[in-house]
Amino acid sequence: MSLCLFSYNLGPLIDRCAKDVIIRARVARLGTVDCHNQPHVIPVVFVFDGAYFFIPLDRKTKTVTPGGLRRVKNIEKNAKVALTIDKYSEVWEKLWFIMIIGRAGIIENKDQIALLKEIHKMLITKYPQYKSIGMGESCIKIQPLKVTSWKNAMDTVQR
C-alpha cells in the first residue's frame, strides 16, 4: 500500500482539490480543549466560504443555551481548534482525511448581522433541514492556519 501525507501552511487559500472535497463533505469533527487541557471532539455540520469555516449554533434541541455549550466555552478560553473532514471506506485504499488547524471565534447576531445572514443562506442551501429547525443567532467561525491531508496514493481524494 502506498500512502501520502501532505502538510502545508494555508495562508488565505486551500487548493482546488481540497476545496472540492471540503464543499461536498456533509460532516466534520470539531476538536477543542478546555481550561484543564482536556480534549472535546464532536461531530458538526459546516460550510466553507473559500476562506473560513462556519459551524452553526442552531436551534436543535439542547440541554443548555448555545453560550453554555462546552465547545463554545472552550473556544472562549482557547481559540485553537482542529476540524477534521474524512471519508471511511471498507476498501482502505479509498480512505482519506483533511485536518484543519485554526483559530475559532463566536459570531453573534448583534455583532455581524449581515455576515450571519450570508452564513445562514449557505447552511440552508447545503442542509435544507435548517428551513424547519431554525438557525439560531450565533455560529463558530474558524480561520484556517494549517492543513494536513492524507490519502492513499493509489486513490484520489475526490472519490
Output the pLDDT for position 15. Answer: 73
Asked if residue 131 has pLDDT above 90, the reply is: no
Mean pLDDT across the stretch 72-78? Answer: 95
- pLDDT, residue 65, reads 65
Domains of the chain: 3-149 (2.30.110.10)
Q: How much is the pLDDT for 108?
A: 84
Does residue 125 carry a pLDDT above 90?
A: yes
Cα–Cα separations (whole angstroms), residue 156 to 3, 21, 46, 85, 149 = 11, 10, 23, 15, 12
Which of 146, 9, 15, 138 lies closest to 81 in space, CA to CA?
146
**For residue 144, how many other CB atoms are within 10 A of its CB?**
21
For position 61, what pLDDT does the model report?
58
Would you state the pLDDT for residue 63? 64
What's the confidence (pLDDT) of residue 72? Answer: 92
Residues 42-64 pLDDT 10s: 999 999 998 999 999 866 655 66
Instruction: Please report the pLDDT score of residue 59 as a whole number.
Output: 60
CA nearest 86: which of 16, 149, 2, 13?
149
User: Which amino acid, 86?
Assistant: D
Distance CA 31, CA 101 (A): 9
What pLDDT, in 10s, does the model give residues 85-100? 998 889 888 888 899 9
Place 159 in a pLDDT band, splitting at 50, 70 and 90: very low
Give residue 136's pLDDT.
75
* pLDDT of 11 higher than 70: no
